[in-house]
């Protein structure tokens, strides 16, 4: 049911933890399942993501997608990080079962929420970034398969 990569990132998640004085922190939840994900970003003066950590209180797929998402955003610019979709995270994990696709949305939304927090703290606007939702279950019907 789960790919080897999903199992690997679930049993041995990368970048778990917190970043003190993070440039941006984003927390999102899914009210339907009750799972919560928080992402911390450390962004340098050039707008490159130096470090990324996460804490996820959720299912295995949520842990695996957070872990992969942190790997994907590290070293990226803000614009590049913004373009990382839940689909890209799922592809990097060699797919997720259809009933678990919504879990990957948490990762995408948490990155957006952390970037939003960074923009707010620095009084800047990030092109293409919309105000994040705190409860992603409201938009689940629109998710892509
Ligand atoms: Fe809630 Fe996976 S079941 S995030």
Which CATH number is 87's domain given?
A: 3.90.1010.10
Q: Is 103 a known active-site residue?
A: yes
Domain of 30 in residue numbering reads as 4-122
The answer to the question of residue 145 being in a domain is: no
Q: What is the pLDDT of residue 136?
A: 84
Pocket test for ligand 1, best of 59, 66, 90 (most atoms within 8 A of CB): 59
How many domains is the chain built from?
A: 1
Is-above-0.85 flag for pTM? Answer: yes
pLDDT at 134 over 90: no
What is the average per-residue pLDDT within 39-63?
97
Q: What is the pLDDT of residue 142?
A: 53
CA angle 91, 58, 96 (to 5 degrees): 20
pLDDT at 132 over 90: no
Question: For residue 12, with 0-12 CB atoms within 10 Å meaning exposed, 13-18 middle and 19 or more buried, which class applies?
Answer: exposed
The answer to the question of residue 135 being in a domain is: no
The answer to the question of residue 138 being in a domain is: no
């Amino acid at each position: 049911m789960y790919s080897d990569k999903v199992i690997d990132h679930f049993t041995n998640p990368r970048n778990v933890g917190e970043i003190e004085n993070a440039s941006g922190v984003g927390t999102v939840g899914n009210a339907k399942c009750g799972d919560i994900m928080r992402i911390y970003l450390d962004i340098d003066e050039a707008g490159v993501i130096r470090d990324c950590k996460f804490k996820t209180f959720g299912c295995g797929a949520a842990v695996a997608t957070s872990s992969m998402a942190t790997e994907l955003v590290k070293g990226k610019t803000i614009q590049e990080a913004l373009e990382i979709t839940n689909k890209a995270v799922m592809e990097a994990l060699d797919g997720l079962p259809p009933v678990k696709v919504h879990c990957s949305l948490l990762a995408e939304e948490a990155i957006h929420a952390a970037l939003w927090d960074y923009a707010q703290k620095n009084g800047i606007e990030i092109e293409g970034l919309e105000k994040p939702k705190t409860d992603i279950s409201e938009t689940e019907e629109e998710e892509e398969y």
